[in-house]
Structure 1
C-alpha cells in the first residue's frame, strides 16, 4: 500500500510522521525548506504534561535537558502577588523550549526512522484523489509527482492543502499582539515563570501593562509585552525602552546587565477550518485551527491532532478504510478546539476590556488572574486537554460500567503499570503503538514476580478476553488507579483516552467497548457533532 503523505515539516508534521512510523506505516514528508531550522530563541513553545510526554516518547530525547521546566509560577497585579504555585511530581511543570530545538529533536529521530522519507525543497501545489489514494504534485528544484494512500496537510496557517480542497477558514485576525524579546539576564524570580498585570511603571492604557517572563536554559528569559490594539510598528527603540523600564521595575531601580539575544512580534489569530477531512485528505495543526490568546498554546492542540489521527490512519492503512473511525478525527478534534476558542472568545472582553466588570464586581481581578493562569498552565476551560465524551467512538452504557476518577472520554492518569514482560513502566509509555490498552487494577501484585500472579485469579480469564478483542490489545496491571476499586478493568485508547471502566472481567462488555472504540458501533458522527455543540464558526 502507498505511504501516507504529510505536507509540512513543522512540529505537527514531524510528530505525525514519527507517530505513524512507530505503528509501521511508511510516510513521505514534504518539507518546503532545506530540512533545517533557523535558531530563534524568541520563538518558543510551552508543552504541557501530555504533549511533552508525547514528544519525548516519539523523539527519545529527554526534553527536560533541551528545554526548561519551571520551578514555579507567580502572578502579580501592580505590586501585589496574586498567586504563587510550586510545581512537583503531583503537579508537573510545563516545559518551555525553543521551537527550533524541538523540531531539531524530532528531525534527528526521523533521520533514524527507515519508514519515513523526507523530501526537502518540495512545496505542494497540486492534489488529486481517487478511490484508492491521492496523487500530489510538488514544485521546486526536486518537483515531481507523489502517490500516497492519504494526505495530511500540516502546512500551517496559509495551508496549500486547505486551499486546494476549498475549505473555508473563518475567524478573527490579530486577536492579540505581543512584542517579544529573548534576554540573558538575572531576574529576582529565579526559575519561576511570571505574569505581571498592570505593573506600576506602565500607565499608558489598559492593554499596555501585561508582561510575561518565562525562563529558558542558560539564563535566557523570553519576555512578552501585550501590545495595545492596532497595527503600530514595534521599533527597536520602543522595544529597548520597554526592556529597560521592565527590568528596572522588577529589580527596584537601576537596569541590571542584560544581553538581547533575539526579538520578534507574536500575533495571535483565532480561526477554525469548516472541515478537517475531505475524502483521503486531512488537516492538522495550524492548517486546521489557530488559537493562542490569553496564554494558551496552539501547538498543544496541533500535537493532540497528530496523536488522535495517527492511530486511526494506522488502523485504516493496515486493515483497510474504516470511514466511521476516520470521520471521528474531525468530530473529536474539531469539537475540542471549538470549545477552547469559545472559552477564549468569551473571556477576552472581560480580560481585555478596560474597567468593565472590575469597576462593579468585587474580587474580579482575582478571577481574571485565575483565568489567565489557567491559560498559561494548561488548566480549566482555556487550557486543559479536551475530552471525547461525546465521540461516536464511545460505547453505549454497559451493564458492568463503574465510575473512576477519570470520566469516559478523558485522558487517563499516568500511573505505574506492569507490562507483559514483567517490567514496571509508566502507562503513558505504552501509548501510541496502535493497540488498545487493557489495565487491570490489582493491589498487591507489585510485590510478586509476574510468574506468580499471571496465571492466578482473574488473569487467565482476562487474558482470554483480551485475546478475543477485534484488534490487538496489550494487557497491563496496575497496583492502583485513582478512584478505582480492586479488580476494575480499564479500556484505554491508543491515544490515552479512557473508553470505559468495568467492574471485574466482563468479556462481552469489554468486546463491545473495544468494537465501539474502533469505530464499529456507537453514535453516528452527526449525533456526536450535535451533542458536542461543535458548530461552524
Structure 2
C-alpha cells in the first residue's frame, strides 16, 4: 500500500468521469477550485445512453464553458407527439427553439460526443486532473477533517485526502454505500429494450419524440442525429428482431445500410436516495436518484445537482462561508428530483397505458385530456419545477419569482451581443427594474455584489417584463441563476436578509491538515 505525499491533499475528489462528474469538475475549476477525477474507464464509454436535454441544462453547460461546443453537436427537437396503437396522432406538444434559458427547450445529442467535449475541456483546465483506469475501493472513514479516498491502479493502492468528495459513480454507487444511504422505491419498474440505429433510410419521423400509447407494445422513438435514431420498447413475451420492431417507421423492404449500434435491455426504475450526503461526501446524478426516461430528465437532473452544489462548495472552501450552506444542497435538490421522478412516472403510466385492467380507461382519459384547450401549451413549458422555500429561497407567494430561474435573453454590452450570463458573471447579482435606491446600493456593496438596472443591459425587454410579471422591483440572483429573494413592487429593500446572509459570510476555522487527519485515523484504528 502506498500513502502518497502531501501533494495528494486536494480540495475535491470526484468519483466518476461521466457527464455529471466532469461537469462538476469544470464548474469548480471556473471558480478556481482544484479537483481530481477518478474513473475506472480509460476512455469515454463508446455506446450511446442519454440522448435528450433541456434548455436549463444547456445553460449549465454554458456555465461549464462548453455551451457553444454542445450546440455544435446537438439538434433541436420539435417536441412530443402521443400516438395511439395505430400510430395516429392523439396530441402534439411543441417545444420552442428559444426557451427560457436562451436555448432550444429540447435538444438531441449523442452522449459519447458530449463526453468527448467535456473531457477535452477538462484537459485544457489546469485545475482538473483526470485519473482513468483506476478503481475506487473505499471512501472514509469520516473525521472532522479531510476525507480519505482509497483507489487502486496498476501501481498498487493509493490514498487521496479531500476537503470534499463528490460521488458521481452511478446507480451502483460505492459512495452511496459508504455514507450508509439507502434507496427509496418510488414504485415504478419496467423492463424495456433500447435500440440505437445508424441508417440513411427514409425513416418516418417529425424531428421530435414519438410516444406510442399502446399497452400491448408501448414504444418511444426519436431522431438523435443526422443518421442516428433511437427506439425503446417495453419487453413482450418474445425477443423480436429489430427490423420487425421498427417496421412502422422503416419500410421492411429497405435493404440499404442499417447498422444496429446497440440493442440492450434496461430496467427503468424510479428511486431516490434517503440521504444525499454524509459530512463532506455528496451524492450526485444516478448515485442519488433514478428517473424513468419518459420526459428525458435523467441526465438533466444530475447536471442540476452539479450546478447547485459546486457554487456552494466553492464558497465554503474558498471564502469561508458557513458550513450550513452545504446542507441546502440536499434540502433543495432532493424534493426537486423527487417531483421530476414522479412526473416521469405519471407520464410513463399515462403514455404507455400500464399493464392492468384500467389501461383502456387511462387511454381514453388521456385522449380526452389532450383536447382540453391550453393543455398542449402548458405541457410545452419547462419541466423543471421551482425550488421549494428554504434558507436560500425566500418564497413570498406560491407563484412568485423566488426559487425560479431568471431568463437568459441576448443582451448588448460593450458593443457586443452576448448571452446574459456571459455579461453578468457567475456570482450573486441584483437585477433591478429601475436605478437602485441608495439603501439597496449599500446592501449590494455589503454583500459584495453588483446591482444592475435591466435597462442598462439593452435586451429585448425580456428582463423588465419578467420582473413586472413577478411583481418585483429587484431580484437577487444566486450563482446558479435561481432567484433567492425579491424586492416587491413598491418596496425599497430585501426584508429578510438575516435568514440567508450568515450562510454566505460567516467564516470558520480550516480543516486539520491531511497528515493530522491521518494520525487521528491511525490512533482510532489502534484503540
The TM-score normalised by the length of structure 1 is 0.78
Q: Is the 8 Å Cα contact of residues 178 and 226 (structure 1) preserved in structure 2?
A: yes
- Shift in Å, 1:73: 3.9
One of 127, 131, 141 as aligned partner of 2:144: 131
1:74-473 to 2 correspondence within 5 Å? 74-77=81-84, 78-91=86-99, 92-128=104-140, 129-142=142-155, 143-171=157-185, 174-184=189-199, 185-198=201-214, 206-208=215-217, 210-228=218-236, 234=239, 238-243=241-246, 245-247=247-249, 254-255=253-254, 257-265=256-264, 266-320=266-320, 322-345=322-345, 350=350, 351-356=353-358, 358-359=360-361, 363-367=365-369, 384-395=383-394, 407-417=401-411, 425-429=418-422, 433=426, 435-442=427-434, 458=436, 462-469=440-447, 471-473=448-450
- Shift in Å, 1:499: 1.6
C-alpha offsets along residues 366-386 of structure 1, whole Å, 9 cap, x if unaligned? 54899xx99xx9867xx8113
What SS does the corresponding residue of 1:182 show, helix, strand or coil?
strand
What SS does the corresponding residue of 2:182 show, helix, strand or coil?
coil
1:509 counterpart = 2:495: yes
For structure 1, the residue ranges without an aligned partner over 5 or more in a row are 199-205, 398-402, 443-456, 521-537
Q: Is the 8 Å Cα contact of residues 212 and 225 (structure 1) preserved in structure 2?
A: yes
- Shift in Å, 1:512: 4.8
Q: Distance in 2 between matches of 1:130 and 1:181?
A: 46
- Shift in Å, 1:323: 2.8
Aligned residues: 473
- Shift in Å, 1:108: 0.6
> Which residue number corresponds to residue 490 of structure 1?
475
- Shift in Å, 1:424: 5.0
- Shift in Å, 1:38: 3.8
> Which residue number corresponds to residue 38 of structure 2?
30
Q: Distance in 1 between matches of 2:503 and 2:482?
A: 10
Q: Distance in 2 between matches of 1:283 and 1:257?
A: 46
Q: Is the 8 Å Cα contact of residues 36 and 131 (structure 2) preserved in structure 1?
A: yes
> Which residue number corresponds to residue 51 of structure 2?
45
- Shift in Å, 1:168: 1.3
What SS does the corresponding residue of 1:352 show, helix, strand or coil?
coil
What SS does the corresponding residue of 2:242 show, helix, strand or coil?
helix
Q: Distance in 1 between matches of 2:71 and 2:30?
A: 22
Q: Is the 8 Å Cα contact of residues 59 and 106 (structure 1) preserved in structure 2?
A: no
Q: Distance in 1 between matches of 2:410 and 2:400?
A: 16
Q: Distance in 2 between matches of 1:391 and 1:274?
A: 19
What SS does the corresponding residue of 1:16 show, helix, strand or coil?
helix
- Shift in Å, 1:292: 1.7
C-alpha offsets along residues 92-131 of structure 1, whole Å, 9 cap, x if unaligned? 3411111111111100111111111111122211222322
Q: Is the 8 Å Cα contact of residues 295 and 347 (structure 2) preserved in structure 1?
A: no
For structure 2, the residue ranges without an aligned partner over 5 or more in a row are 1-8, 456-460, 507-527
What SS does the corresponding residue of 2:219 show, helix, strand or coil?
strand
C-alpha offsets along residues 355-398 of structure 1, whole Å, 9 cap, x if unaligned? 5163488543354899xx99xx9867xx811322322323375x
C-alpha offsets along residues 326-362 of structure 1, whole Å, 9 cap, x if unaligned? 1111111111112233344456555313551634885
What SS does the corresponding residue of 2:183 show, helix, strand or coil?
coil
Relative distance call for 1:96 and 1:169 in structure 2 (3 A) is: same
Q: Distance in 2 between matches of 1:432 and 1:261?
A: 44
What SS does the corresponding residue of 2:485 show, helix, strand or coil?
strand
One of 5, 13, 26 as aligned partner of 1:5: 13
Q: Distance in 1 between matches of 2:289 and 2:123?
A: 28
C-alpha offsets along residues 72-109 of structure 1, whole Å, 9 cap, x if unaligned? 54332224222335544455341111111111110011
> Which residue number corresponds to residue 202 of structure 1?
none
Q: Is the 8 Å Cα contact of residues 36 and 129 (structure 2) preserved in structure 1?
A: yes
Relative distance call for 1:293 and 1:173 in structure 2 (3 A) is: same
The TM-score normalised by the length of structure 2 is 0.79
Q: Distance in 1 between matches of 2:313 and 2:362?
A: 52
Q: Distance in 1 between matches of 2:133 and 2:233?
A: 35
Q: Distance in 1 between matches of 2:439 and 2:149?
A: 49
Q: Is the 8 Å Cα contact of residues 23 and 61 (structure 2) preserved in structure 1?
A: yes
